[in-house]
Amino acid sequence: MKRSFAILVSVLVVSTVFGSLARADVLADLDKALASAAAWKYGDDQNAMKTIENATFEAGKDAALRGPVETRLLAALKSSKSVDLRRFICRQLRTIGTDRSIPALASLLGDADLTHGARYALGRMEDPKAGAALHNAMKNTKGKIQAGIIVTLAKRGYPAAIGDMVKLFDSSDKIVAHAAIRGVGVMGTVASAKALLKARSSATGHIRKRVTDALLECADTLAECGKASDAAVIYKVLYTPKEPTHIRLAALGGLAKAPGAAAVSTLAGVIKGDDPQMRANAIALMTGVKDPGATKALIDLLAGADSETQTLILRGLGGRGDKSARGAVTKLAASEDKAVKGAALEALGSVGGAGSIPLLLKNAAGGGCERSAQIGLTAIKGPGVDEALIREIASEDVKIGSEAIKACRVRGCKKAVDALFKAAVSKESSVRRAAADAIGSLGGEKDIDRLLKILVSPADPGDRAALENAAGKIFLSVGDNDKCAAKVLTASHNASGEAKASLVRLMGKAPTAKTLDAVKTLVRSSDKAVKDAAVRTLADWPNAEPADAVIALAKSTSNKTHRVLLLRGYVRMAGMTKDSTDMCMAAMKIATSTQDKKLVLSGFGSAGTMKALNEVAKYFDDEKVREEAGLAAAKIGEKLKRTPDKLQVKFLLQKVQKFTKSNNTKRMVDRTIRDIK
């Protein structure tokens, strides 16, 4: 025990010694920095300032260091002739200044060069003497300095200055008058409110406007501090009909924050009034009132209201999301007024439940408010909602079934997948295709096999496009080409004709070595549909892996359409490689038509070799393709402008300058030529 105590004492002694040494170093460095910065100006070397800042930072953490650092800073503040250094010191005193700094800072409040730093330092100090110093300076300064001190006192919250600020409301200096008025409002006390209300009773012109704005700010602060009744006095004064609209709206917003039923009563009265703008804002404000009575008040106001008001109230009820409004909203969903009906259907998305699904689906299927009903279907939540939608997928009404499918897709309702597969073999084509689209969005890896089974033997061959698209979307969401490819290849073994053609196209959506081999084999198929699908899939392959097979087939095929597709695919693949030069040159050898040549020249643009530029230059004299050749040359030249061949590049681009009619090509060429030294 004694040994442990001895060790603890030793540790404390060592820590104290090291702490003292560290403080000594900080103070020594600070002394040197202050001495070297005696004439410092902004823009000079910052090392001394960093040392002073570091000392301030350390003093903020170490109470034993705070006093000595503050003493040194105050001494420098008094002795230095540098305005910039003194400003800098004021900033440090904002952080560590104590009551000892108050006299020194107070003495600077009247100095135009230093008042800003001094008042901000004092404004941060909790000591009441700091507030008193600012208050005293406010009474003994003028103009911008006085206005600045008022702002600091207001932010600090120094109510003792309110009386003297009120005296400045009539100042001949507008800056001071405006600062005083707002300062009283910012403090947000009952005394502030009384002073501003009194001043407003006789104020005119710009002063009255400023006092009104300050009253609103004061009322908001009172409300936030729990003094709702005091705030309400101001809001009611400013809500009277003689006030400007924007002031009345702001006051109404304040009244809407009143606790309990007071806000509901006030807003209901406005909604019953004759001012359309106020009514609309009151309804919007009622949406955010927390008192549950707001919902009942809005429901009661529906009766006898005109259609425009009913529409706004329904939106308000939707915004509140209170399920107790369901009955009233449902009733108006049968309104003959389209705007009212639409607002009710959208509101059901917030206040409705599973029982609202049939009504929403019926209107989504027709009746003039389809979009509103669809919005409601997308938003609606609650127990049994998804299940109600899934049941309606099998509706005898084709339109309702289709809308139920769409709603499930938009909602991301994955539990609907089994019902969707049943719908995918329905007798109705619109239902089948909507179901296929939804399966593509909601299905997963486990659903691929049964989707491909339907694809092979669809209810109608015309469904295959939708089913292919669905499978492609699932492949993308699964993100595992090997797994998807295995399923497609398995399904293709016993398929033929259009069914096999569909599966071939899907092989391109799951690109692997195995699917690529299968496609390469099937380009020789005797089945016309399969062969066409294989050629197109090969040409559209998402990477450059089959490039050699593509160009070989393009050379050998007698089918003009296939040759164009293959050539286009090959040029696209060339752009995927590091250097497209050789591939583009190979493509140009089989380019016979003008369109073919234009296509290949566009591919040369991705090349970056002199060999490619020389090849492109061969077509400068061919009027049919010279513009495409010029653009390709411009793109290649941009890449070669800093190579040893830059003079040859410049020579060839100068030729392009002479013949091109394209402003874009000309700009590119001009820029590259300028860059070549």
CA distance 559 to 570: 16
In 3D, which of 538, 411, 421 has the Cα closest to residue 471? 421
Q: What is the pLDDT of residue 23?
A: 84
Domain regions of the chain by residue span: 556-677
Amino acid at 500: K
Checking if the pLDDT of 231 tops 90, the result is yes
Q: Which residues of 597-610 are buried (b: 16+ CB within 10 A; e: fewer)?
A: bbbbbbbbbbbbbb
Average pLDDT over residues 222-243: 92
pLDDT-derived band of residue 143, with 50, 70 and 90 as boundaries?
A: very high
Average pLDDT over residues 291-307: 93
Average per-residue pLDDT in the chain? 93
Checking if the pLDDT of 4 tops 60, the result is no
Average pLDDT over residues 362-389: 96
In 3D, which of 272, 280, 275, 221 has the Cα closest to residue 243? 275
In 3D, which of 541, 531, 611 has the Cα closest to residue 570? 541
DSSP letter for 415, please.
G
List C-alpha distances in Å: 194 to 162, 198, 451. Answer: 11, 6, 76
Q: pLDDT tens across 435-445, in order?
A: 999 999 999 99
Q: Is 101 helix (H, G, I), strand (E, B) or coil?
A: helix
Neighbours of 267 (CB within 10 A): 29
Is residue 535 within 8 Å of 506, Cβ to Cβ? no
Q: What number of CA atoms fall less than 13 Å from residue 409's CA on the CB side?
A: 19
Checking if the pLDDT of 658 tops 50, the result is yes
Checking if the pLDDT of 628 tops 90, the result is yes
CA distance 439 to 16: 73
Give the percent of the chain with pLDDT over 70: 97
Neighbours of 109 (CB within 10 A): 24
Is residue 570 within 8 Å of 550, Cβ to Cβ? yes
Is residue 369 within 8 Å of 342, Cβ to Cβ? yes
Q: What is the pLDDT of residue 2?
A: 54
The encoded tokens of residue 164 equal: 């003297």
Q: What is the pLDDT of residue 304?
A: 86
Beta strands in 11-86 (DSSP E): none
H helical segments located in 288-356: 293-302, 307-320, 326-332, 338-351
Q: pLDDT tens across 302-360, in order?
A: 998 999 999 999 999 999 999 999 999 999 999 999 999 999 999 999 999 999 999 99
Neighbours of 1 (CB within 10 A): 5
Q: pLDDT tens across 238-282, in order?
A: 999 899 999 999 999 999 988 878 899 999 999 999 999 999 999
List C-alpha distances in Å: 555 to 436, 549, 566, 584. Answer: 39, 10, 9, 14
Checking if the pLDDT of 3 tops 90, the result is no
The encoded tokens of residue 653 equal: 């681009």
Q: Is 342 helix (H, G, I), strand (E, B) or coil?
A: helix
SS (H, E, C) 533-557: HHHHHHHCCCCCCCHHHHHHHHHHC
Q: What is the pLDDT of residue 12?
A: 41
Question: pTM for this one?
Answer: 0.77
In 3D, which of 357, 365, 267 has the Cα closest to residue 320? 267
In 3D, which of 293, 313, 289, 290 has the Cα closest to residue 301? 313
Checking if the pLDDT of 8 tops 90, the result is no
CA distance 404 to 385: 11
Q: Which residues of 341-359 are buried (b: 16+ CB within 10 A; e: fewer)?
A: bbbbbbbbbbbbbbebbeb
What does the DSSP assignment read for 153-199? HHHHT-GGGHHHHHHGGG-SSHHHHHHHHHHHHHH--HHHHHHHHHH
Neighbours of 493 (CB within 10 A): 8
Q: What is the pLDDT of residue 479?
A: 94
Checking if the pLDDT of 566 tops 70, the result is yes
Amino acid at 144: K
Neighbours of 197 (CB within 10 A): 15
Average pLDDT over residues 454-459: 95
